[in-house]
Amino acid sequence: MSERLKHRTTRSLIVKVWVLTGTVAVADFIFGATFVTLMGQRGLGAALVGGLLSLTAVTALLIETPSGAWGDRFGHKRLVSCGLALWGAGLLVFSVASNPAVFAAAILLWSGGLALYSGASTALLVNTLNSEGLSHHGEHAIRGSETIRWASAALGAVLVALAGWAMADGVSIAISGGLLVTAAVWVTFTWPDSPRRSGSPIGRSMQRGVRYILSRKGRLLLALSVLAAIDLAIVILTWQPMTVDVVGFDAGLLGIVLLVLTLSTAAGAWTTRWTRRCSPEVVVGATLSIVNASLALVLLGAVGAIVAYVLAEFLIGIALTTLAVWAQATFPDSIRATATSLVGSATGVTMAITNGLMGQLWQALGLTSAVAWSAGVLVALLGSVGTLAAVTRSASRSANQGTT
């Protein structure tokens, strides 16, 4: 393949991944603007909502954990297509659900599809770039994808704001599901096939991935990813009731609020171009610490809640983008997809458990107290992780000096 054709093909794939990322973000955030409110409107209490959302732990363990190895074996394009189709079907069922059993089925479909899709398009892109000798485009492609994801989420929020009439009866969620199914068809018929490693047994790939993320290189990335997932889960679960019950906004303004929050996250993702020269663990650790300090502001009432969530979303954008670039720069090609899916399953289980616990805390302590108490615990956990990382680094440095 000539250099010009190679670069044109590469550019085409990057653009397709960016378009898909934007499309999925629009659908996901139309859903995200309404799903907790919809469950409440259909008679589900806080503890039941948290319990149902914790079902995502099942799909994270059973589907997302091996999904990277499946992608290496059968092709990441196939995982992207199947994941989008299942995810879309889950949202279509969710839009008409009226009792806990149907909501549970919808959540399992939605989270199962998301587990297959998660990380597959990135693995397809990065592995293709590396196989073509164009790995230097990887960081730009991933950073651009993260920025587009949050900017497109803001577009989804605008659509919800302009079509507030569609929220109460789940029409907006049905539209989201249809958009994802359409994206699955587009990927199936227009995307190039992805590189495969058909000779690599799935069990062996899993073992190598587990060994890597539990190694000295992977442990800190995994720990900070888990802590970021807790913060993200808290914000996702609580921003809607915080907006309506604490700030006092009408439910019809949720789309506008989500627009502000997602623009804040997109701004955070965009600013990582200036933090990339800093150590990623320092950037993520510092931003997550400030996230949790800011969430404590909800105790100050409506103004405190507004400042807390806008600032938290900005910092989460920095943290998640830094983690994404850090992971793809660190994972070897041979286990990239497997390691990505293992970290994804760990964060998925973490978010599911957080949803369940937050639902109980919310019901027992009230919304603002539950958020503030959780933020305090996370600050302590971040301090522990930072201390352990510093001790481990110091011990490793001493051992290296002793052998020289």
- Whether the per-residue pLDDT at 189 is higher than 70: the answer is yes
- What's the pLDDT tens digit per position in 237-272? 888 889 888 888 877 677 678 778 878 888 888 888
Convert 174-190 to b/e letters by CB count within 10 Å (16 or more is b): bbbbebbbebbebbeee
**DSSP labels, 1-66:** --HHHHHHHHHHHHHHHHHHHHHHHHHHHHHHTTHHHHHHHTT--HHHHHHHHTTHHHHIIIIIHH
Give the count of domains, the chain. 1
Q: Is residue 197 one of the residues assigned to a domain?
A: no
Q: Which two tokens stand for residue 49?
A: 């909502």
Rounded CA-CA distance 9/128 in Å is 10
Mean pLDDT, residues 322-351 taken together: 81
- What's the pLDDT tens digit per position in 1-15? 455 555 666 677 778
Q: Is residue 363 one of the residues assigned to a domain?
A: yes
* Backbone conformation region of residue 170, classed left if phi is above 0, alpha if psi is from -120 to 50, else beta: left
For residue 296, the enclosing domain spans: 3-192+202-402
Q: Is residue 60 one of the residues assigned to a domain?
A: yes
Looking at residue 1, its pLDDT comes to 47
Give the residue among 124, 331, 62, 117 at the shortest CA–CA distance from 208: 331
Residue 111 or 144, more confident: 111
Mean pLDDT, residues 31-57 taken together: 79
Mean pLDDT, residues 93-106 taken together: 90
Residue 195 or 99, more confident: 99
Among 154-158, 229-233, 389-393, top mean pLDDT goes to: 229-233
- What's the pLDDT tens digit per position in 52-81? 887 877 776 777 777 777 777 777 788 889
Quote the percentage of the chain above a pLDDT of 90.
12
Sign of the C-alpha dihedral computed for residues 90, 95, 100 and 101 taken in this order: negative
For residue 88, give the amino acid letter.
Answer: G
Point out the least confidently predicted range of 86-90, 247-251, 306-310. Answer: 247-251
Q: What is the CATH number of the domain that holds 71?
A: 1.20.1250.20
Q: Is residue 149 one of the residues assigned to a domain?
A: yes
Q: Is residue 267 one of the residues assigned to a domain?
A: yes
DSSP strand E in 213-334: where?
A: none
Q: Is residue 16 one of the residues assigned to a domain?
A: yes
Give the residue among 262, 84, 62, 60 at the shortest CA–CA distance from 160: 262
- Whether the per-residue pLDDT at 182 is higher than 90: the answer is yes
Looking at residue 26, its pLDDT comes to 85
Q: Is residue 379 one of the residues assigned to a domain?
A: yes
Residue 214 Cα to chain centre, angstroms: 21
Q: State the pLDDT confidence band at 181, using cuts at 50, 70 and 90.
A: very high
- What's the pLDDT tens digit per position in 134-177? 555 556 677 777 777 777 877 776 776 676 555 555 788 888 89
Q: Is residue 229 one of the residues assigned to a domain?
A: yes
Q: Look up residue 278 and give its DSSP letter.
A: S
Residues 6+ apart with CB under 8 A from 399: none
